[in-house]
C-alpha cells in the first residue's frame, strides 16, 4: 500500500517552469538537471516498488528532523519485522570505491552514498525510539540507472546494483506476514513528522519581465498550443488536455513563482499570453480559488 506518494519538490517545479519560459543561469540550469535526474530515478524505482505484492506500507520522499538535523529519505518500506530505507541514485557511467571514497571514472570524487546512509541510520533510529517504535531498520543504496557500472564492488555492502533490484524485490515478495495496527501508527507518525519545506531549497534567479508569457504544453514543454473549445492542443506533440486543468495549472505555476503577487483575472490573462478567454479564467478562479476584495480590486487565493 502506498501511504505517501512522491511529488516534485517546489524547487524542481519552479526550475521546470522557469526553464520553459526563460534561459536559466548556468548555476540554476545545472541544479535543475541534477534535481530532475534524481527525481526521474526515484520515480523509476517507485514504479518497481509498485509491483510488490507482499504486505507492506510504502512512504516516499520524507523530510524529517531530529535534534536539529534535517535528513531526507527517498523511499521507505514498512514490513512486518523491519523497516527498509532506500537511498536512490540515478548515476550513469563508471564508478569505483577507494578507501571509503567514491569516484566517477576517471577520478571525480562524489559524496559517498554509504556515508550518507551511515549518517541517516542512527538519527532515524533515535527519532523512531523517541516516538515509541522499536523496529529494526535496514538501509540500502539503490542504483537504478541501467547504465551504471560499479568497479571492484565488495559483497555484503548495502548496495543494490541495477541488475540486483529484481531479485531484491522478489525476496521481499516471499514474505507473507501481515501488518498490524502498530505498523499503521508508525506510517501515520512518519507522515505527520514530514517537513514540507526543505531548508536546503535554493531560490533560482528570475524576474517577471524576462519570462515568456503563454501556455506551455504539459508534455513537450513548448509554447505551441492552441485552444479549441474546452480543449488545449499542442501542435508540436499532439498533447491534449482539458482547458480547466490547463488553467488551474497556470494559476498554480503563477502562485508558486510569484507568491507575493496578487492573482487576478488580468494577471493570469497576461501570464497565459491572452491565449485563454477572460471568461474562462474568471470561471476557474471562482471555482477553485477563494475570492478576496471586490470590483476591480478582486483577487484570488
The distance of closest approach from Cβ of residue 120 to Zn ion in the complex, given in angstroms and rounded to an integer, is 39
Q: Does residue number 20 form part of the binding site for Zn ion (CB under 5 A)?
A: no
Rounded to 5 degrees, φ, ψ at 232 are -115, 130
Separation CA 143–CA 137 (nearest Å): 19
Q: Does residue number 220 form part of the binding site for Zn ion (CB under 5 A)?
A: yes
Q: Which long-range contacts (CB under 8 A, 24 or more apart) does 261-264 make?
A: 261/208, 262/299, 263/289, 263/299, 263/300, 263/301, 264/298, 264/299, 264/300
The C-alpha angle with vertex 219 and arms to 215 and 222, in degrees rounded to 5, equals 45
Q: For residues 160 and 234, which CB has a smaller minimum distance to Zn ion in the complex? A: 234
Q: Does residue number 237 form part of the binding site for Zn ion (CB under 5 A)?
A: yes
Q: Does residue number 236 form part of the binding site for Zn ion (CB under 5 A)?
A: yes
The distance of closest approach from Cβ of residue 218 to Zn ion in the complex, given in angstroms and rounded to an integer, is 8
Q: Does residue number 217 form part of the binding site for Zn ion (CB under 5 A)?
A: yes
Q: For residues 49 and 237, which CB has a smaller minimum distance to Zn ion in the complex? A: 237
Q: For residues 135 and 237, which CB has a smaller minimum distance to Zn ion in the complex? A: 237
Task: Give the interface segment with Zn ion, choosing from 96-104, 136-144, 209-217, 277-285 (CB under 5 A).
Answer: 209-217
Q: At what angle do helices 26-49 and 10-21 cross, to 10 degrees?
A: 130
Task: Give the interface segment with Zn ion, choosing from 89-97, 171-179, 237-245, 267-275 (CB under 5 A).
Answer: 237-245
Q: For residues 59 and 216, which CB has a smaller minimum distance to Zn ion in the complex? A: 216
Separation CA 51–CA 57 (nearest Å): 13
- Indicate which single residue of 15, 124, 234, 247 sits in contact with Zn ion (rule: CB under 5 A): 234
Q: Does residue number 227 form part of the binding site for Zn ion (CB under 5 A)?
A: no
Task: Give the interface segment with Zn ion, choosing from 27-35, 145-153, 184-192, 216-224 (CB under 5 A).
Answer: 216-224
The distance of closest approach from Cβ of residue 13 to Zn ion in the complex, given in angstroms and rounded to an integer, is 18
Q: Indicate the SS3 state at residue 104.
A: strand
The distance of closest approach from Cβ of residue 214 to Zn ion in the complex, given in angstroms and rounded to an integer, is 12
Q: Does residue number 248 form part of the binding site for Zn ion (CB under 5 A)?
A: no
- Indicate which single residue of 3, 239, 289, 299 sits in contact with Zn ion (rule: CB under 5 A): 239
The C-alpha angle with vertex 238 and arms to 35 and 34, in degrees rounded to 5, equals 10
Q: Which three cell numbers stand for residue 21?
A: 519560459
Q: Does residue number 128 form part of the binding site for Zn ion (CB under 5 A)?
A: no
Q: For residues 38 and 218, which CB has a smaller minimum distance to Zn ion in the complex? A: 218
Q: Which long-range contacts (CB under 8 A, 24 or more apart) does 66-69 make?
A: 66/123, 66/124, 66/126, 66/127, 66/130, 67/123, 67/126, 69/123
Q: For residues 247 and 265, which CB has a smaller minimum distance to Zn ion in the complex? A: 247
- Cross-sheet strand order for the sheet of 93-98: 108-110, 101-104, 93-98, 148-151
Across the strands, what pairs with 73?
Answer: 62
Q: Which residues contact 68 (CB under 8 A, 6 or more apart)?
A: none
Q: Where does this chain bind Zn ion (CB under 5 A)?
A: 217, 219-220, 234, 236-237, 239
Amino acid at each position: 500500500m502506498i501511504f505517501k506518494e512522491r511529488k516534485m519538490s517546489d524547487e524542481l517545479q519552479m526550475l521546470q517552469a522557469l526553464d520553459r519560459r526563460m534561459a536559466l543561469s548556468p548555476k540554476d540550469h545545472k541544479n535543475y538537471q541534477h534535481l530532475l535526474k534524481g527525481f526521474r530515478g526515484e520515480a523509476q524505482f517507485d514504479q518497481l516498488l509498485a509491483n510488490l505484492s507482499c504486505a507492506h506500507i510504502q512512504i516516499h520522499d520524507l523530510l524529517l528532523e531530529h535534534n536539529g538535523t534535517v535528513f531526507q529519505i527517498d523511499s521507505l518500506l514498512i514490513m512486518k519485522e523491519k523497516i527498509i530505507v532506500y537511498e536512490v541514485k540515478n548515476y550513469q557511467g563508471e564508478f569505483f570505491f577507494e578507501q571509503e571514497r567514491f569516484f566517477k571514472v576517471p577520478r571525480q570524487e562524489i559524496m559517498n552514498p554509504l556515508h550518507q546512509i551511515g549518517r541517516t541510520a542512527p538519527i532515524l533510529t533515535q527519532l523512531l525510539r523517541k516516538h515509541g517504535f522499536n523496529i529494526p531498520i535496514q538501509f540500502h543504496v539503490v542504483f537504478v540507472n541501467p547504465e551504471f557500472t560499479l568497479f571492484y564492488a565488495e559483497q555484503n555492502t548495502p548496495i543494490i546494483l541495477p541488475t540486483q533490484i529484481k531479485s531484491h524485490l522478489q525476496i521481499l515478495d516471499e514474505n507473507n506476514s501481515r501488518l498490524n495496527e502498530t505498523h499503521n501508527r508508525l506510517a501515520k507518525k512518519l507522515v505527520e513528522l514530514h517537513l514540507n519545506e526543505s531548508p536546503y531549497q535554493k531560490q533560482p534567479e528570475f524576474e517577471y519581465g524576462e519570462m515568456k508569457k503563454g501556455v506551455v504544453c504539459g508534455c513537450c514543454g513548448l509554447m505551441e498550443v492552441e485552444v479549441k473549445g474546452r480543449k488545449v492542443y499542442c501542435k508540436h506533440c499532439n498533447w491534449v488536455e482539458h482547458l480547466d486543468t490547463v488553467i488551474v495549472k497556470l494559476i498554480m505555476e503563477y502562485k508558486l513563482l510569484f507568491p507575493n503577487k496578487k492573482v487576478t483575472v488580468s494577471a493570469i490573462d497576461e501570464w497565459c499570453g491572452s491565449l485563454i478567454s477572460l471568461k474562462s479564467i474568471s470561471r476557474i478562479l471562482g471555482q477553485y480559488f477563494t475570492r478576496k476584495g471586490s470590483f476591480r480590486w478582486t483577487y484570488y487565493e
